[in-house]
Amino acid sequence: MRDFNDLPANHFINTIINEDLKSGRYGDRVHTRFPPEPNGYLHIGHAKAIFVDFGTAQEYSGLCNLRMDDTNPAKEDVEYVDAIKEDIHWLGYDWGDRFYYASDYFERMYDCAVSLIKKGLAYVCQLSPDQFREMRGDLSHPAVSPYRDRPIEESLDLFARMRQGEFENGAMTLRAKIDLASPNFNMRDPVIYRINHQTHHRTGDTWCIYPMYDFAHPLEDAFEEVTHSLCTLEFEDHRPLYEWVIENCDVPCRSRQIEFARLGITNTVMSKRKLRRLVEEGFVCGWDDPRMPTLAGMRRRGYPAAAIRNFCAGIGVAKSNSTVEFAQLEHCVREELNTSADRAMAILDPLKVVITSFPEDHSELLPAENNPELPERGTRELSFSREVYIEREDFMEEPVKGFRRLIPGGEVRLKYAYIIRCDEVIKDENGNIVELHCSHDPNSRSGEDTSGKKVKGTIQWVDAKTAVPVELRLYDLLFTKANPDDVEEGQEFTDFINPDSLTIPENALLEAGLAKAEVGVPYQFLRTGYFVKDKDSREGNIVFNRVVSLKSSWKK
Ligand code: ATP
Ligand code: MG
């Protein structure tokens, strides 16, 4: 028996479910489903739906089905089915043995349609698509169909022959007989079956008629005995039809539909049609390009699944659509990585430093903590020798006020190593700085500093002898426009792709040990950002993606 004093109460969906539990509408069952159409990869919007569908089931110790909503024969692909499963598992959810295809119910749906005809609640309509549109009516005029009152026998015969493939696409439809004058146009005798001579990726050529979404979806839910069918707001006006179908078909469960707001994020697009165009037209390198809002892209980018779950929890579940700043998602990624990611050093734009006081042909191994937040992660050894590279921007010949890093004659600490002083700036014939000559204080070694010196700045470095070249892929927003869906006439969303969404510094260097990092494990490169090794890495060409920079512009 459920404890009614201890029910979740985070949002309106909880309120509805709690009422149903108290009234015993579904006994003590809570059963949801996530119903993706396998025509693309899952994106961050789907993550919200997954969080709501699977998360709600979890909250109530209920069940959540995974169902491929494949009633539409076009554009579906096994690649997508596999990717969808992988992404949901990665996010941390599991459907157990409850994996379904809507197309498995085609025969049962057909039977429901026949039973509606027999009850006088559906009829075959032979209006052409154009006539259909002309006769839809408007708010002050009802729709019209001359076929509405044809005999049941005639509709049964025509529907059977539709199934047999006797008619062309568009020749006729099966319509539910509801209310031609309804102010809700979804109820004006909606089409529930149409003819479509197209091969289906699972049922092949068995069918040439396919159920419409509004008819199929409630049946799928009811067949699976889903109690609460959680979907996005655009289906709100379809709910009366959902209920009508459940009411009038012989189904084992009276599932109910509850709508919540769709998630939008700035500077990206979320429609699968648009995402597919980005892939097919080569604007990105695939569905898992780290700039894509897909879960596969975010995983490759190095976003932890927990960050995405936290993001979904943070944006909440409400009834009005909203667009969330991309920076809010990045904030969640940073929060998650701040403690979990080990530290390392890399240099994006190297400036050579020769430590003239340090013996030639000599190297030291210096201990460096892997993660100051998690001492149990231990230390690694960094090699240090006479030549190191620092970040070019960490040196200023004519320092601006407040600059705390290296300047001519000034001192700075090399992280985990020594305090160095800049003695000489070496330039080429054009006046460009090519290297710095510095000297170190041998008594200033980190952890055993007896120099008594106080320096203001600490900077990162890599050892010239051992550092490895690295391809650092620095990602930025994919679109320059906050809402790329909103374009003027003659413009396309692709016109707003950010030309600098990927930049790669030419001479970046990485501390040696990171060459052996595992793909997908994020690191914090000190003072630079979070990075993760990419699957494109090869012997001799190590690739790291920037997950996110260190600083945020987003304020809570
Ligand atoms: P598209 O129209 O781009 O193809 P879709 O919404 O039709 O996307 P589906 O595969 O049908 O994609 O979606 C599966 C589930 O995910 C649906 O329940 C849908 O409501 C939900 N969903 C899709 N996009 C979002 C979003 N941006 N925010 C919240 N839920 C979403
Ligand atoms: Mg859909």
pLDDT in tens, 412-460: 999 999 999 999 999 999 999 999 999 999 999 999 999 999 999 999 9
Q: Which two tokens stand for residue 109?
A: 């749906």
β-strand pairing of 228-232 with 256-260: parallel
pLDDT, mean over the chain: 96
Spatial separation of the C-alpha atoms in residues 109 and 324, rounded to whole Å: 39
Active site annotation includes 262: yes
pLDDT at 1: 64
Pocket test residue of 32, 232, 315, 319 for ligand 1, highest count of atoms within 8 A of CB: 232
As a dihedral over the C-alpha atoms of residue 9, residue 324, residue 292, residue 507, rounded to 10 degrees, the angle is -120
Look at residue 74 in the predicted model and tell me its pLDDT.
Answer: 72
CA dist., res. 315 & res. 323, Å (int): 10
CB neighbour burial string for 40-61, b if at least 16 within 10 angstroms, e if fewer: bbbbbbbbbbbbbbbbbbbebe
Dump pLDDT digits (tens) for 14-57.
Answer: 999 999 999 999 999 999 999 999 999 999 999 999 999 999 99
Q: What is the pLDDT of residues 65-124, one digit of tens each?
A: 999 999 998 756 789 999 999 999 999 999 999 999 999 999 999 999 999 999 999 999
Q: In three state form, how does the secondary structure of 122-171 look?
A: EEEECCCHHHHHHCCCECCECCCCCCCCCCHHHHHHHHHHHHHCCCCCCC
Domain 346-459 belongs to what architecture? Beta Barrel (2.40)
Substitution candidate for ligand 1 out of 43, 46, 230 with most atoms within 8 A of CB? 46
**pLDDT value at position 213?**
98
What share of the chain in percent tops pLDDT 90? 96
Nearest CA to ligand 1 atom 13: 36
Instruction: Give the fold, CATH level 3, of 4-260.
Output: Rossmann fold (3.40.50)
| pLDDT tens digits, 461-510 | 999 999 999 999 999 999 999 999 999 999 999 999 999 999 999 999 99
Is the minimum distance from the CB of 322 to ligand 1 under 6 angstroms? no
Both tokens assigned to 259:
């709508």
Q: Where are the domains of the chain?
A: 4-260, 346-459
Kindly name the residue from 37, 86, 225, 236 that is annotated as catalytic. 37
The atom of ligand 1 lying closest to the CA of 264 is 27
pLDDT confidence of residue 552: 60
Please confirm, yes or no, whether 272 is among the known catalytic residues.
yes
The CA 213 to ligand 2 mean position distance, Å, reads 9
HSE at residue 94, side-chain half, CA atoms within 13 A, is 3
